[in-house]
Structure 1
Amino acid sequence: MTRKTSEDIQKQIEQLKNQKKEVLAKERAQARKERTRRLIQRGAILEQYLDNAEDLTNEDVESIVKYAFNTPYVRDLVQGLNDVK
């Protein structure tokens, strides 16, 4: 049976650290992909309800969303959806 030297153990530790970095990088990349997909899908849903969406600026869309979310009906709806979770 061969004994592991401290150098062997140190190499193994470095390998494990590198594996951990790779796994974390993959997890971050996956989270970014999921977020990007979610943003695109939700943006598409929003544009579906805006007439001439391509003619509106980002500020216009933001104003519309702020106005809508400040109505009591939408606040209650969102609160109800959050309560279910």
Structure 2
Amino acid sequence: MHKDHTTQAKPKKDEREEVLKEIRQLENRQKILENKRHNEERKARTRRLIERGAILEGVFPLAPDLPGVEVKAFLIALSHLPGAAELAEKLPKSGEKP
């Protein structure tokens, strides 16, 4: 009888180790996918910022020569001009198609 108990315990231990190994593999796969998603989001944001910066420089040729603080102040001043708020309201929200 003692032998049967030992024989049953070993397969259960092996099965448990296999399940734990599979769990670790799945956790690692999840981390890899999360890192990939994060990198894709970061690249998309970087691209968006570069594109918008290029548009700003194209519309306002002096922008490349101004420090960031002055560009920000300039854009804030533009946002306070009459009609700016109404124009901004008409713009599509982030994620919406124009």
Counterparts of 1:53 and 1:71 in 2: how far apart (Å)?
A: 19
SS at match of 2:83: helix
Count of aligned pairs between the two proteins: 83
Structure 2 gaps, min length 5: 1-11
| 1:39 equivalent in alignment to 2:39 | no
In structure 2, what is the equivalent of residue 62 of structure 1? 72
Structure (1 or 2) with the larger CA radius of gyration: 2
User: Please, what is the CA RMSD of the aligned residues?
Assistant: 2.0
Structure 1 outlier segments of 4+, above 3 Å? none
Listed one character per residue, the Cα deviations across residues 28-57 of structure 1 (whole Å, up to 9, x for unaligned) are 000000000000000000111113333211
TM-score, structure 1 as length reference: 0.85
% of aligned pairs identical? 35
CA distance in 1, matches of 2:17, 2:82: 66
Q: Which residue of 1 aligns with 2:9?
A: none
Alignment of 1:1-85 (within 5 A): 5-82=15-92, 85=96
Q: TM-score, normalised by structure 2?
A: 0.75
